[in-house]
């Protein structure tokens, strides 16, 4: 397998996000009138520039998903069932309990963290899997599955875990948790459905007109930078509205970071060792582990902004997702390679 190297943006994404936060806060502090400018470009609570940015953020990963290879994961139904259980039952439940346990006194942050847990990864997991030399075919198939499942069930999960669960447990006092499944579905359609349709059309039209190789080697690399650029643009705008976070920022980042970091570690290690005990080989174990531990933070950010607003604490919590996920998952790549030698006897 040709070993993939991290690009400049991917390798230092945590640094870029941190710098974008600082730049946004500084911009808002120096030019406080920026909030009025953004408000003038809004329809109801939706900022048009941000909506465009968020849709563009989701477009490249959805165009690069290899939907045509989804059927390959049916080669091992037992492993597929295990992966889907980890992604769509265990993962959301683990993040939910971490959030309500560690952020009970900060319900808005709690909701943002839960949103991250509900959004299964469809982009960066390919990067982590390639770096750890996992099974490329399996990872691609699982990503395609997650993309389809996300479109079908993400709105339902938002309603179940936030509207019903938090309200019935009395954990949403003082914060709006009454999100109808219709409103959630509309939001998911805008920020996931539109880029999904655009991505599928782009992918298969390119195949027909120019061929698959042209898309993979030319167009996909060209559109890839759109995602981090749109993400950083969104973060700058968000934090330009949060001048008051200059003092509170380190404390709030730490509070949100703890459940997120625990989630990534718990899901990765638990999935890896269960798969190992089931007798799954290293490449497949690695692919399943990174799929279970990774999250689609782009979607979580988009939905949080659409539902609660760009300057909400829920949106702030989702932005911390990539800030924590990138360094933790890069570290787990190194752990995976060490485990490969320790448990499977495969040397680099």
List Cβ neighbours of 344 (8 Å cut-off, separation of 6 or more). 281, 282
CB 256 within 8 A of CB 320: yes
Which one has a higher pLDDT value, 17 or 11? 17
169-181 mean pLDDT? 80
Domain membership of residue 208 (yes or no) is yes
CB atoms closer than 10 angstroms to residue 199: 21
pLDDT digits (tens, 9 = 90+) for 145-171: 888 889 889 999 999 999 999 989 988
Distance CA 213, CA 14 (A): 31
Domain membership of residue 22 (yes or no) is no
pLDDT-derived band of residue 46, with 50, 70 and 90 as boundaries? low
Out of 7-16, 183-192, 267-276, 282-291, least confident range: 7-16
CB 175 within 8 A of CB 107: yes
Domain membership of residue 155 (yes or no) is yes
CB 191 within 8 A of CB 58: yes
Please give the tally of structural domains in the chain: 1
Domain that holds residue 333: 63-226+255-340
pLDDT digits (tens, 9 = 90+) for 241-253: 766 666 677 889 8
- Mean pLDDT score of the chain, rounded to an integer? 87
pLDDT at 245 (0 to 100): 67
Domain membership of residue 248 (yes or no) is no
CB 317 within 8 A of CB 171: no
Domain membership of residue 242 (yes or no) is no
Share of the chain above pLDDT 90, in %: 44
| CATH number, domain with residue 113 | 1.20.1530.20
Ordered DSSP codes for 315-331: HHHHHHHHHHHHHHHHH
pLDDT at 114 (0 to 100): 96
Q: Provide the Cα torsion 56, 58, 60, 66; round to 10°.
A: -150
pLDDT at 177 (0 to 100): 74
Out of 34-48, 143-157, 306-320, least confident range: 34-48
Retrieve residue 3's tokens. 């070993």
Beta bridge partners of 295: 120
pLDDT at 148 (0 to 100): 87
Out of 45-54, 143-152, 230-239, least confident range: 45-54
Q: Is the model's pLDDT at 16 over the cut of 80?
A: yes
Query: Helix, strand or coil for residue 295?
Result: strand
Domain membership of residue 88 (yes or no) is yes
pLDDT at 246 (0 to 100): 62
pLDDT at 43 (0 to 100): 73
């Amino acid at each position: 397998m040709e070993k993939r190297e991290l690009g400049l943006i991917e390798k230092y994404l945590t640094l870029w996000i941190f710098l974008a936060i600082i730049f946004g806060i500084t911009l808002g502090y120096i030019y406080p009138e920026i909030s009025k400018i953004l408000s003038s470009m809004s329809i109801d609570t939706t900022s048009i520039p941000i909506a465009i940015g968020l849709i563009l953020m989701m477009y490249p990963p959805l165009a690069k998903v290899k939907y045509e290879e989804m059927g390959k994961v049916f080669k091992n139904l037992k492993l597929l069932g295990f992966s889907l259980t980890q992604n769509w039952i265990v993962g959301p439940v683990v993040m939910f309990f971490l959030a309500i346990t560690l952020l009970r006194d900060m319900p808005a942050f709690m909701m943002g963290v839960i949103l991250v847990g509900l959004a299964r990864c469809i982009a960066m997991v390919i990067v982590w899997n390639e770096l750890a030399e996992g099974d490329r075919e399996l990872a691609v198939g699982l990503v395609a599955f997650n993309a389809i499942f996300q479109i079908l069930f993400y709105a339902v999960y938002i309603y179940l875990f936030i509207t019903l669960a938090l309200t019935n447990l009395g954990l949403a006092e003082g914060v709006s948790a009454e999100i109808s499944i219709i409103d959630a579905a509309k939001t998911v359609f805008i920020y996931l459905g539109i880029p999904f349709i655009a991505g599928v059309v782009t992918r298969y039209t390119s195949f027909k007109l120019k061929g698959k190789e042209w898309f993979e080697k030319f167009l996909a690399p060209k559109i890839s930078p759109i995602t981090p650029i749109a993400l950083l643009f969104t973060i700058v705008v968000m934090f330009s509205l949060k001048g008051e976070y200059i003092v509170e920022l380190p404390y709030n980042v730490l509070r949100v970071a703890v459940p997120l970091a625990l989630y990534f570690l718990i899901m990765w290690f638990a999935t890896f060792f269960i798969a190992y005990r089931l007798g799954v080989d290293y490449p497949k174990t690695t692919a399943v582990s990174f799929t279970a531990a990774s999250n689609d933070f782009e979607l979580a950010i988009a939905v949080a902004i659409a539902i609660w607003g760009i300057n909400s604490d829920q949106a702030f919590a989702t932005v911390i997702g990539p800030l924590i996920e990138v360094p933790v998952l890069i570290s787990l790549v190194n752990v995976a390679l060490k485990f490969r030698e320790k448990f499977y006897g495969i040397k680099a």
